[in-house]
Chains A and B, each alone.
Chain A
């Protein structure tokens, strides 16, 4: 035992040079909110997969119809109802149109409708919700009662009514999807603004003389961005789903324009003999909605880790 004993001498010690300037130094790069969000999102492998899938879908939608040797509306009647082959990767439909190029052309239309409808919902919802939330009291009361009344109206029934009455087309579709679609966004934004406007940074901005516009667009709305983005991500698949649903009822975009919905509707009639004609559009509708849903969930967790369950 005694041989292990270490005798401590002053040489063992070194005086600690305390550098006051070093004490304040931040050794790691400081991250802002969105960098934090990105780090959390990156660690969620499933959400990243969803982003990759969506990127591939979008790239294919943009480029596949450009580089394909077929036209989406080009008919070759001798080659109708061909199964998938090297020549026609996804087969052909009842008019001999190449399903591969049609699928990606349909992706353009479906994604376009989904994204544009969601962005319009976002714009109306954010403006409406933030005005109601910011001004509060009577303004809020009236605006929210209007929302309640519109919210009580079943979404799909309104959309169907509008599609029945208005001339069919892309514009009508987007109009129908947004007529009551913005309400969810408006309610969420209002709730956020109501909470945020009581906080000190709003008071200090106001006492520094910020105008209402500046307060709303510089302080309140950017701070409500998290829930807004999550709602946006979850509105897109809803719009894509509704578009497909309407097309399935025969209320979709009109030929020669094709969307995944109209292609699926078309394919179902040939289900028994040419199942690939419904398989590809159906698969990509589901895949897209799935990817958006997963991304929305991932974003929700990443934006507000306290909500993670």
Chain B
């Protein structure tokens, strides 16, 4: 187990190293460099600017400095805003994104499990069909379209919820819903098919044969086993909510890291783009790692050290 864990950790670190290096060399490959975009700067000023940001050093040295800065988590200054470093920007904005992300995460787990279990319990009945229709629609409508749609109906037409910003709890409802829709649909489908599979198992028959009440069979035997695999979805789920936040935060004018990231893309603020990408990658890669480990602990039937061929689609719809 420990050997396997270390091995996985090693690959996680390699993944991170690849994305960190890729970010670095891609940004270096941008024609022109960060200071050539606007009006012509005199050569001396350009020189001192480059010296200030360490851009006059040879590429290898810059790469080494960059790796060091990531390891020590000191991501340097923003090219566009003098007042803040990348660390400060992430610290300031991530809190907001984290709150919204956690709300969406909990909402999607709760709603997804509810609809999934419901659909399985009323298999091939109205509840099943309506849940699955909702799930397919939830999977197909991109989060930014849903966000715009909800904003238009509930904020502009009917003025039930505020259309933007992030202050009172009421402000949280629409963005959290928009972010949660896609993962809710996935969890609902996953839970439903797991439930249907579990209900066919012999131990359910045994439990019924022992004369246990149907409610207890469902809650203690069926649902508990059926929702286990949902844990594996937590990795892609986090990824989906994170990337969804880029657009949803923008639409609702929420000053989180997603908005900041999109802004830095529009401004071509390279240090912020690099820093944020690395930050997001670390969160996602470790989330998937932790979930993998967790799954082996929660469900002893799973032999995680084996080759898991089932995980093929985990990356879908990040």
Chain A residues proximal to chain B, CB less than 8 Å:
145, 148-158, 160-162, 164-165, 183-184, 187-188, 191, 234, 237-238, 241, 244-245, 248-251, 264, 268, 271-272, 275, 278, 282, 285-286, 289-290, 293-294, 297, 309
Contacts and interface: CB of A to CB of B under 8 A. Distances in A.
A309 B193 CA distance: 6
A234 B317 CA distance: 10
A187 B315 CA distance: 12
A267 B93 CA distance: 27
A116 B145 CA distance: 24
Nearest to A148: B11
A282 B317 contact: no
Contacts of B315: 151, 155, 183-184
Interface in B258-315: 262, 265-266, 268, 273, 277, 280-281, 284-285, 288, 309, 312-313, 315
B306 to A, nearest CB: 13
Contacts of B16: 152
Contact of B137 (A162, A164, A184, A290): A290
Given A152-B14, A241-B317, A286-B137, 16 more contacts: A145-B11, A153-B15, A153-B281, A154-B239, A156-B243, A157-B281, A158-B22, A164-B273, A188-B312, A245-B142, A251-B265, A264-B148, A268-B148, A271-B156, A272-B156, A275-B152
A149 B139 contact: no
B144 interface: yes
B23 interface: yes
Contact of A248 (B29, B144, B156): B144
Q: Which of A153, A290, A293, A297 has the most CB of B within 10 A?
A: A153
B265 A250 contact: yes
A187 B277 CA distance: 26
Interface of B: 11-12, 14-16, 18-19, 22-23, 26-27, 29-30, 136-137, 139-142, 144-145, 148-149, 151-152, 156, 192-193, 196-197, 239, 242-243, 246-247, 251, 262, 265-266, 268, 273, 277, 280-281, 284-285, 288, 309, 312-313, 315-318
A183 B311 CA distance: 12
B277 A309 contact: no
Given A156-B243, A187-B312, A290-B137, A165 B15 contact: no
B312 A191 contact: yes
B148 A271 contact: yes
Closest 3 CB pairs of A and B: A152-B15, A290-B140, A289-B140
Contacts of B11: 145, 148-149, 152
Nearest to B273: A164
Nearest to A234: B316
Given A158-B19, A282-B148, A293 B273 contact: no
A185 B156 CA distance: 43
B142 A157 contact: no
Contacts of A148: 11, 15
B266 A154 contact: no
Contact of B18 (A149, A297, A309): A149
Given A154-B280, A160-B265, A294-B136, A245 B144 contact: yes
Contact of B266 (A191, A244, A250, A282): A250
A286 B136 contact: no
A63 B246 CA distance: 35
Contacts of B137: 286, 290
Contacts of B18: 149-150, 153
Contacts of B139: 289, 293
A306 B265 CA distance: 47
A293 B185 CA distance: 13
A183 B309 CA distance: 13
Nearest to B247: A248
